[in-house]
Each structure stands twice: as structure tokens, then as C-alpha cells.
Amino acid sequence: MLELRNVSFTVDNENGDGKVDILKDISLKIDNGFVAITGPNGGGKSTLAKIIAGVYQPTGGQILLDGEDITNLSVTDRAKKGISFAFQQPVRFKGITVNDLIRLAAGHPISVSDACDYLSQVGLCARDYINREVNASLSGGELKRIEIATVLARGTKVSLFDEPEAGIDLWSFNNLINVFERMHSTLGGSIIIISHQERILNIADKVAVIANGEVKAYGAKSDILPELLDASAEACKVLTENMKGVAE
């Protein structure tokens, strides 16, 4: 289980004469299963993901993994403890092949056949990709699926994805949904996805809403999602009425 206890993150403001609270006293308990974290832009979601992964260190509070305090561990040490992190914009590696990347992710010797199997699970033809370099020749959607293949190869306790739908086309997004559904049914541990997409929220077990650096709601999808969608519909209605008034 992943647990956040009163996690805060404060940075200097742009003028350097004060502080800005990005996250404020975040407390969450995430058991095995699929949790989607959503909320408005600038609310702190991606910062929270990077703090869980160890990219950033919190300025207050604790992070525990299966009861062990990992608050002060680096991103590398957290990865060793069992946290995988897929960036919003996957990193490209000139000179490293897809096969190399999957083998590195696995952390132990695996055959080409095994590496190809991970690619097949994310909907890529292994023959076409296994020996390709992870460079600019790959599209955003291809990179996203290769990155997910590396997460599958790691098989960690916590698999964390920051807006996996960002910058990809509709066809690739539909394939990503299928991949996450398969992960949900076959991969143990916790799957955490930062997302605005209703289709991703719909396949989650639980939904957390983060806004203004705070947890505004957290619970079963069946409890959180209807209220969230109603609020979004009402906001769209108000915006439409305001725009109509301006036009008139």
C-alpha cells in the first residue's frame, strides 16, 4: 500500500520574495487497484506524481510504501523499492534500442522473445519495433506504449502514469485504454494515472480530485465520478450562457 501523510510542497515565487504552496497537506491511502487522479490544470496533480516517484522531494509530510518511510529516498532508490513512473513526455534515448530499454527495465536477463511479448501486450508488432532506436523516429503514441511495456517488464508494486493521453492521436488513445484495462486485470499492485479523460476515469476503481493543491474528493468511482461529471456539465452550461451574453 502507498500512503501519503500530510504531504506538502512549497517553492519560491517568481520574484524570490515569498513562497507558493503547490501542495497543501495531502493525505491519501492507495491500496492495490486502479486509482485515477484528476482535477483542474495547475491544481498540483503532476507535482504530486513527481513527489510520489521521487523526482521532487516534499517540503513536509511523509510517504510510506508498505509501511516503510520512503520520504527521503531518491527516484532511483524508490524505483528499487518498487515504484515505476511514466512521464507525461517520454524520454528519448539515442543509441538505445527498444530491446535494450525493455531489458534494462526488467532488471534481469530476459530473452528477445520475452521483450517481444511485452511489446505485443501494448499493441505493437514486435518485429517492427524490437530493434528500433528510442529516438525521434518514434511517434508520441509509440513512445507511450513502449514506456508502458517497460513498466510491464518491471512488474512493480506501484505503476504511476502522468497524463498518458497527452499529445497522442485518437487511435493511439483507444489502444492505451485497452492496455490499461489489461493491466488492471492482470498486473498486481497499484496503478495510478493522472488524467482528465473520462474514459480513463471510468476504468478506475477509485478517483481522487486534486485542486488548488488539496484533496477535494477521494473515494470509489461510483461515488465520485457522477458528481464530478455533473459539476463539469454545469460549468460548461455557465460558460455557454456567459459567452451567449457577450455575443448579444
Give strand ranges (E) for 55-169: 60-65, 68-69, 83-86, 93-97, 133-134, 158-162
Greater model confidence, 187 or 115: 115
- Which three cell numbers mark 217? 474528493
Q: Quick check: 237 pLDDT over 60?
A: no
Tell me the pLDDT tens digit for each residue of 177-235: 888 888 877 767 899 999 988 888 998 999 999 999 999 999 999 999 888 876 655 55
Highest mean pLDDT among 119-128, 146-155, 194-203, 204-213: 204-213
Strands 158-162 and 190-194: parallel
Average pLDDT over residues 117-144: 87
pLDDT at 239: 38
Q: What is the pTM of this model?
A: 0.83
Q: Quick check: 248 pLDDT over 60?
A: no
Average pLDDT, the chain: 86
Q: Quick check: 242 pLDDT over 50?
A: yes
- For 31, 196, 198, 228, 245, the CA distances from 240, given in Å and listed in that order, are 40, 20, 21, 18, 9
Residue 242's H or E segment, with its range, is helix 221-247
Please tell me whether residue 19 adopts helix, strand or coil conformation: strand
Strands of 158-162's sheet in order across: 83-86, 158-162, 190-194, 33-38, 206-211, 214-220
Domain spans of the chain, in order of start: 2-247
Average pLDDT over residues 94-123: 88
Sequence-separated (6 or more) residues with CB below 8 Å from residue 15:
none
Per CATH, is 2-247 categorized as 3.40.50.300? yes
- For 76, 114, 156, the CA distances from 103, given in Å and listed in that order, are 17, 9, 15
87 — pLDDT class (breaks 50, 70, 90): confident
